[in-house]
Each structure stands twice: as structure tokens, then as C-alpha cells.
Amino acid sequence: MRKIDFVVLVAFVGLTSVVFADQITMKNGDRLSGTIVKSDGKTLVLHTDYAGDITLQFPAITGIKTENELHISTSDKKTVVGPVNASDGKIEVSTKTGGTVEVPAGNVVLIRNDAEEAAYDKSLHPGWRQGWNGGINVGFSLARGNSETTNLGLAINATRPTLNDKTTIYLTSVDTNNQLATPSTVANLITGGFEYDHNLDPRIFGFVAADFTSNALQDLDLRGVYGGGVGYHAIKSDITTLDLQAGLNYTHETYSNGPQVTPPTVPPTFVSYGVTNRFAALTLGEQLGYKAGKSTVITEKAFVYPDMSDTSQYRFEFDLGTVTKISKWLGWQNQFSDIYVSNPPLTAKKNDLILTTGLNFSFTH
């Protein structure tokens, strides 16, 4: 191939890429070429081959011309689709069925290209196995010599948020044992459950939840809490979320004060010393999430559960945790928990304080 032919071919390819690229004209006269990704009416994201994604101030744009279709949503809740030619504060959309539709720039709420629109549609109706993200926390310690103890902390948290609801599943286990001459359990606490939130409007949501706890040092065989109520998104931003919640629950808990024994009866029967409580209670609390910089997430929640038949009897739970990213899938986690029960068995303390630290393995699906 002659040199002049090569130059003509390169020029033709470059010209073709410009012709089929979206064109943006700014107030200062700058012209940018690329692919329009999305806009929220305040800023516009343009993808370029030479600089990646560029964010432009939407009011500073005086002209837009595209060959590909854009999906434009307006303040009157209408959506028009087609190639765009915009200038002087007016946006003309060449639709396939309605011809050219004119949209005032001030009425634009959202702009998406085909890929962004497809992702949005998918987020409205995701498959049940899609959209999960969370982490697995693991902490382990071992001591030998003057003391012989082992400690294993394990936590699994998974959240599936969509535009209209959120599902949360969690499991926590702390197991510490002393293997001296007289082996003993230092701590054996297991908690788990789920919560489902559904938005009733942008601020109000309803929730249902179930929570299960077993605590050997309080002689708690199993506590099941089944409830629901309403919540309020007091703060909802990319950095901070704060939810206030109130509702009712049914609590069923069984305590045992010692091992099973066999009284001298014929035939033998097994008897367990303990007590079972069943009562309705209130659910009152808040949950906070905060992104501290680019690598650390702080979570906190505090709930109180007063017995409706005797409000002097109640349970209080407080959790504070941090996860700091080390890499895309690995992080360092710290978790502090305070579990208070106003009426435990006579031999048990009311408060359990738990502090764990270790590695966090994050996942998305």
C-alpha cells in the first residue's frame, strides 16, 4: 500500500469515528466527541476514547447531536427515545413512532443510553440470585502455655438492595473454650436472622424480620423474635444512611438452668430445669451506615425490645462495626456488640460485651 493511500485510509477511519460519535458543544465554544452515557439534568457523563468518562455541567452545554438513541425522561413523567439534536435550550428527539418531539432542556430529569437503560430495567426486576453483596468475617486466636484457649469468630452478612426493597441476611458466631485441667466454655454465642424492607414511598418503608439467638453463658437455648413494622429513611445519600424503625414482635425464648437429669421413674423420663417465656414486645431502634473515605465503611445499630405486658423488662442490643478495604475482595473488620437482658436466669449476668477483629472477604453476585 502506498504511503498516500495509508494516510487517506487513516483519515477516513478517523473521520468516520467522529461522524458516528456523539457531539457536545459547550458555552465556551469547546466541542467534545464521545458517547453520552447518562445525565441527571445537573451533570452529563460523556465517555471518550482519549480520557475515559468525563463529567460535564449540564447547564454549560449549548448543543448535543447524537446518531444513537437516547432515553430521555421528563419532569412530567414521560419518556421519549431517539437520536437527539439539541441547541438553544431545546432538545429535539427523533422518535420512531411520533416523529420529532421537542423537550425543553429544563424539563429533563434523566438521560440514559441503551446500555444504561437496559441496566436500569434489569435493576427493577432482578432475579432472586442477583444483586447480592456482602462479606464473610473470620477471626481466630490461640493461646498455649499458662493458658490454653481457642477463640473463633465468624460472621456472614449479605444484602440485596434494589430500587424498591432490601433483603438482609446475617449470621454471627463467637466460640471461646478453655482447655485446661477442667475444660470450660468461655463464650458461645450464635445469632442469625433476616430482614426484608419494602419502600412505601421515597421516605417510608415497611419491614418484617426474624431474629434467632443462642447464648450458652446465659443458659439461653434459643430465642426467636418474629416481628414487623414501619421505618423512616431519615438520611439517604451515597455517603450516609440512617433508618428509624418501630414495630411489634412476638418473642419466644427458652432458658435451661442445668443439664437434663433422669428421675427414678418407670419408665424413665428426662426432665430439664428451666423456663420458657412467650410475650409480645415493641421493636424500637435505628440503623446507621457511613462511608468514611474511599476504603472504610462504618455500620451501627441500636434496638430496644420492651415487654408490652411489663415494660420494666426489656432487651437491648447495640452493634458497631467497621470494614476497611485492603483490596477489592479483602478487608480488615472490627465488631463490637453489647447485648443486655433485664431478666436473665439468676446465675447469669445481664450484660454480654463482645469484641471481634479479623479479616473480611467481600463478595458480589
Q: Give residue 270's Cα distance to chain centre.
A: 46
Which helix (H) or strand (E) segment holds residue 114: the answer is helix 114-124
Query: Mean pLDDT throughout 153-157?
Result: 87
Domain boundary among the residues 124, 151, 171 is at: 124
Domain boundary among the residues 124, 155, 170 is at: 124
pLDDT of residue 4: 47
Least confident piece of the model among 208-212, 221-225, 242-246, 346-350: 346-350
The C-alpha cell that represents 82 in the structure block: 431517539
CATH number, residue 247: 2.40.128.130
The C-alpha cell that represents 341 in the structure block: 437482658
- Per-residue pLDDT of 288-308, as tens digits, reads 999 998 899 999 999 999 999
Same structural domain, 216 and 332: yes
Same structural domain, 119 and 141: no
284 or 115, which is more confident: 284
Q: What is the pTM of this model?
A: 0.67
Reference 71, options 45, 25, 39, 23; nearest CA is: 39
Number of domains composing the chain: 2
- Per-residue pLDDT of 278-289, as tens digits, reads 999 999 999 999
Cis, peptide link before residue 268, omega less than 30° from 0: no
Same structural domain, 42 and 110: yes
pLDDT of residue 112: 92
Same structural domain, 248 and 110: no
CA-to-CA distance for 121 and 194, rounded, in angstroms? 26
pLDDT of residue 129: 77
Query: Mean pLDDT throughout 169-194?
Result: 80
- Per-residue pLDDT of 255-286, as tens digits, reads 886 555 555 555 555 555 578 889 999 999 99
Structural domain of 302:
133-364
Least confident piece of the model among 73-82, 124-133, 179-188, 200-209: 179-188
CA distances from 315 to 122, 253, 284, 287, 364 (A): 41, 12, 11, 17, 34
Domain boundary among the residues 124, 159, 189 is at: 124
pLDDT of residue 146: 62
CA-to-CA distance for 167 and 150, rounded, in angstroms? 34
pLDDT of residue 24: 92
Same structural domain, 140 and 190: yes
Same structural domain, 181 and 47: no
- Per-residue pLDDT of 42-98, as tens digits, reads 889 999 988 888 899 988 998 999 988 999 988 888 889 999 998 877 888 998 888
